[in-house]
Structure 1
């Protein structure tokens, strides 16, 4: 029998057959299926027509199933059991999850956000695995729609109308200079910022445009390096009077590790929202709902704490006085 022929049959009748075999009574079967007794009798008639067999004979107050009814009932155990399991709510157990999650993100998130969420993730789900891919701003939709990515962590700069998202928190921007930089021991003014050569580490391409908007009407900076990874800028930070523009919390982490000096931006700059983004196909996946809840909770908490620790308010980025 072809699939489309099965589609035209009322498969609910087979469920009714199982209930009739179990109850051996039209009235009790009707009660279980929330039908009237007359409606249940009509169901039995349709079953007999569908299966070309009387299916039951009456013995006193009870129905006695025929051999065909018993044979079909036995054959239905496995498929109906599978359907019951398929249609039942899925109980997600992180400890038994062995899924590999693919996340597209920026170097910033890889260094300063995700490492603080991973310990809790692996504590709850020790068998999961991760693959991190570089964010492609212009192709974010494609990465999440047609690619292998389950989640993106970034500041989106193109339309994400067809995607779902949740905000993680606000991120500010600061500058890093070498201890030997002419500005290392003095306050940096706007003229200084525009005069010295620059390197910018990509959070997303949108951050560069935000800074350019804030500097509209001023001379353009001399950008000698723009890179995805911070290491490229660190390789030349001692060879020229370079100003490296990075997210504020990354600036503090890197300054301690590489003995650099952190400088606030010498102009008004509004912190921007960092988000996690996913395709609607992942919306109701229990595993991915669990992952997003952990990322949201841990990363939002971390970003908020850093804003307070660094003295950043909601409107501007600056070092604590």
Structure 2
């Protein structure tokens, strides 16, 4: 804001006196906004963004853009989708910067409305209204097996899937709930390992006949690298939408529109290519 710390303190002091509220309270090393401060942010955020856009040059030039974009996303998207859009982004706009925030599904609206996130990339678990969204692609689910697994050279039946031990990876972005819906009414799978990262499951995949069920994008990236066998699910499973989501205040920002167009094009092509390479049809249930 081009203000010194002392000048900012004076401005805050006058504002606190004007509205009769401390605005921030200190908790350890952090300043926590009061309810009044949050209400002010809600009321002023969109008008200020509109004013900023009105005062911005009409024609956007990525080469001269030095904006910092804040993106809320999941570890899954960070590993499998988003990094593949970054080379083109920096090629077109070498002066931009990014800050990535852990996406919190229960606070998605707040992250985009109050916490400064420009964009979210995730699998929406419920309606995102009043936010704006666009689907990047549809993602299926596959099974990873060791090349020494008893089913490595044969087809997998539903009974096989239920009988063999499983590992669930937390990074899989909500796939567990979707699988449970698809398997409703059937015996529960025997889950021997729940881990945050895939490496934990890979460490034991050669010591037991483990089945690791993951989104197709993750299977695509790791199968060849770790000499794993990829198997389709032996039951019907509808691929899920992976989307980018943003607040209406960013709808007509030239910089935001440019960023969304790059993410949509690059990530959409990537998902489609992986579907083709792995022989999947992401328009129909698996």
Q: Same fold, TM exceeding 0.5? A: yes
Give the equivalent residue in structure 1 for 2:172: 203
- Correspondent of 1:186 among 122, 139, 154: 154
In structure 2, the residue matched to 1:316 is 285
| Structure 2 Cα separation of the partners of residues 165 and 287 of structure 1 | 17
- Looking at structure 1, the residues matched to 56 and 94 of structure 2 have their Cα atoms a distance apart, in angstroms, of 26
**Aligned residue among 240, 261, 275 for 2:243:** 275
TM-score, normalised by the number of residues in structure 1: 0.67
Aligned partners of 2:220 and 2:274 also within 8 Å = no
Q: Which runs of 5+ in 2 are unaligned?
A: 1-50
1:162/1:197 CA distance change after superposition, 3 Å? same
1:82-133: per-residue Cα shift (whole Å, max 9, x none)? x9x9657532111111222221222332222112211110100011122222
**Residues 1:112 and 2:80 are matched in the alignment:** yes
Question: Are 1:127 and 2:100 an aligned pair?
Answer: no
Aligned to 1:172: 140
- In the superposition, relative to structure 1, how do residues 228 and 152 fare at CA in structure 2: closer, same or farther (>3 Å)? farther
Q: Matches of residues 51-130 of structure 1 in structure 2 within 5 Å?
A: 87=55, 89-130=57-98
1:253 equivalenced with 2:221 (yes/no): yes
- Do the aligned residues in 1 keep the contact of 2:76 with 2:173 (CA within 8 Å)? no
Partner of residue 244 from structure 1, selected from 212, 220, 240: 212
Deviation at 1:234, TM superposition (A): 2.4
Matching residue within 220, 238, 255 for 1:287: 255
Structure 1 unaligned regions, length at least 5: 1-82
Match of 2:275 in 1: 307
Residues 173 and 247 in structure 1, CA contact (< 8 A), matched pair in contact too: yes
Preserved contact between residue 166 and residue 191 of structure 2 (Cα < 8 Å): yes
Provide the residue aligned with 1:162 in structure 2. Answer: 130
Moved segments of 4+, more than 6 Å: none
- Aligned match of 1:25: none
TM-score under structure 2 normalisation? 0.75
Pairwise CA RMSD of aligned residues? Answer: 2.1
Q: CA 1:257/1:118 → structure 2, altered by over 3 Å: closer, same or farther? A: same
Aligned residues: 233
Equivalent residue for 1:151? 119
Distance change (3 Å), C-alpha of 1:220 and 1:274: same
